[in-house]
A and B are shown apart, each in its own frame.
Chain A
Amino acid sequence: MAIDAIAAKGTSQRVAPPLPAALFGACAGVLCVSVVAIVGWLILIGVPNAVRVFNPHDPAGVLAPLIATAYVTILALPPAAIVGVFAAMAAADVRVFGSVARAMRNALTLVGSVPTVIVAFAALLAALSFGWHPSLTGAALAVSIINMPLMTALSLGALTYRAAAIREATTALGASPMYVVVRVLLPRAYPRLRGALILVATQIVGAAAAIAIVAGAQAPGGHGSAPIGAWPLAVEVLTRGSAASGYGATAAAALVLTILIWVLQGVAQLRASAESAAQEDR
């Protein structure tokens, strides 16, 4: 009897109050319905046009924009990765670069909060002031710069993930701060850094549209100086979206872009969870 009473009490304590539970449930429902509706709409409108967008001779095709996407990603990712990882290494231990590292951590928050279009506009102005022609290549540089804070933040997270005890143990053995960062924390962070790289690539592929348009706006021929002569796929979706005649093809292109990003994010998440499981075991 007493046990029943305790069990009943325990059960009643676990049940969430009805009003917040309803509110959270409604929010989750709105989110799910929105995502399903958007993707459903893309499939409904886009799938009938799939044959068209994969036709290399069709002006609404996605192959050239996909190659342009790869072009921008290949140009933008390495500088973002190199600057991001090195900045994170400097910020990972305040003893390596002292006040510089502290300032960098603060700057990271500030720089990361600057609207992307403003960075793109600054890149455009910089290109013009140097007498360069704005182009898809210039746009890639702007895309790279705007993703540097994200890469730095993700790399910093990878380097310092559960690292306090390891830093303490290695420091107590007479290892210098730089040795700890370079020889211990960095190799340990490789799997997470690979995940970070994929996530930044996802950003470049999916969120590059506004930046690419602004930074490469005045490119000769309207499509920049990329050898492909096309905008990245995200830009195509954005620009075609306003043309009423191309809604079906735009939906198909958007579907291709969505699937591409989901694949990249899926790979990044699978890698991250596999690594988390491995580190839990350790």
Chain B
Amino acid sequence: MPDRAPLETKIEVNKLAVWYGSQQALRGVTFDVASKTTTALIGAGGSGKTTLLRALNRMHDLNPDVRVQGSIKIDGAEILGHGVDTARLRRNVGMVFAQATMLPTSIGDNVMFGLAAQGIREERAMRDAAEKALRRAGLWEKMADRLDEPAAGLSDVERQRVCIARALAVDPDVLLFDDPTALMDPIAALAIEDVIARLRRDHTLIIATNDLQQAARLADITVYMANGEIVESGDTPLIFNKPGDVRTEAFLAGRTP
């Protein structure tokens, strides 16, 4: 791995703990994410990957039974606690889910939804942003003449690309991917990976994935989680080739740690 210049820290997570009711899902998680890097969160089901991801843009606020403690700073500003503009936070920290949920409206309106929710009403500005986002998601050539068609008719991979375009349209700095190819066949998954790979230069990406090969292909940094804790994190080639913890080694080898 060639030496890299020190990168600016984008996200600082410190002693983060999350409870679903009385059940603790994250236990004192501490880690930093450098700007414009791609981080993969790997670990068995229930290890806390999605819980950690959802804490980064306060999606846990949707569930009144979830309690979050600790500190998360993005660009040095604390995002937990009262007084944070969560709508603005989520525009800055976008999220793409495993299930590509289309709003029951047109393809264009889906892509422009975040802009409309911001209060932007100028048709031209919205169309321009939608075009830019669809181009970056590799869909513009296919969708340019279909923006007024219902989004319901799209294939799975097109839906997920529209979801990525929808997240990109509001111009986020950080993009969180929660197992974005979990429900896809390998060819469709590779198509989505291509889109993600193209975004790496311009955004800070964090991907929770159960696909170890995907993590190895996409991520600069890999974080292995187990039982709500970070076991080990580091440069992806190092984690995959020379894991420093026996639990990581066992997980990568497909053995029970």
* Interface set of A (CB-CB < 8 Å, partner B): 94-95, 102, 165-176, 179, 183-184, 188, 279, 281-282
Query: Could you say which residues of chain B place their CB within 8 Å of the CB of A175?
Result: 87, 113-114, 117
- Chain A residue nearest in CB terms to B57: A172
A102 to B63, CA, bound (A): 12
- Indicate if B55 sits at the interface (CB-CB under 8 A): no
Q: List 15 A-B contacts (CB under 8 A).
A: A102-B64, A165-B97, A168-B59, A168-B97, A169-B163, A170-B103, A171-B59, A171-B90, A173-B113, A173-B114, A173-B167, A174-B170, A175-B87, A282-B102, A282-B152
A33 to chain B minimum Cβ distance, whole angstroms, is: 44
What residues of chain B lie closer than 8 Å to A166, measured between beta carbons? 101, 103
Interface size band for B: 20 to 34
Could you tell me the dominant secondary structure of chain A's interface residues? Answer: helix
| 3 closest residue pairs by CB, A with B | A174-B91, A173-B114, A175-B117
Interface of chain B, main secondary structure = helix
Within 90-105 of B, Cβ neighbours of A (below 8 Å) are at: 90-91, 94-95, 97, 99, 101-104
Q: Does B90 contact A168, Cβ atoms closer than 8 Å?
A: no
Partner of B95, one of A94, A172, A179, A281: A172
Query: Which listed residue, B57, B59, B104, B166, touches A282 by the CB 8 Å rule?
Result: B104
In the complex, chain B residues whose CB is within 8 Å of the CB of A94: 64
Task: Kindly list chain B residues whose C-beta atoms are within 8 Å of the C-beta of A95.
Answer: 61-62
- What A residues does B152 contact at CB under 8 A? 281-282
Q: Cβ of B217 < 8 Å from any Cβ of A?
A: no
Contact B90 A173 (CB under 8 A): yes
The minimal Cβ–Cβ distance linking B74 to chain A, given in whole angstroms, is 14
In the assembled complex, B88 has its CB within 8 A of some CB on chain A = yes
Which residue on A lies nearest to B89, using beta carbons? A174
Identify which of residues 28-48 in chain B touch chain A, using a CB-to-CB cut-off of 8 Å: none
Interface string of B108-148 (1 = CB under 8 A from A): 00000110111000000000000000000000000000000
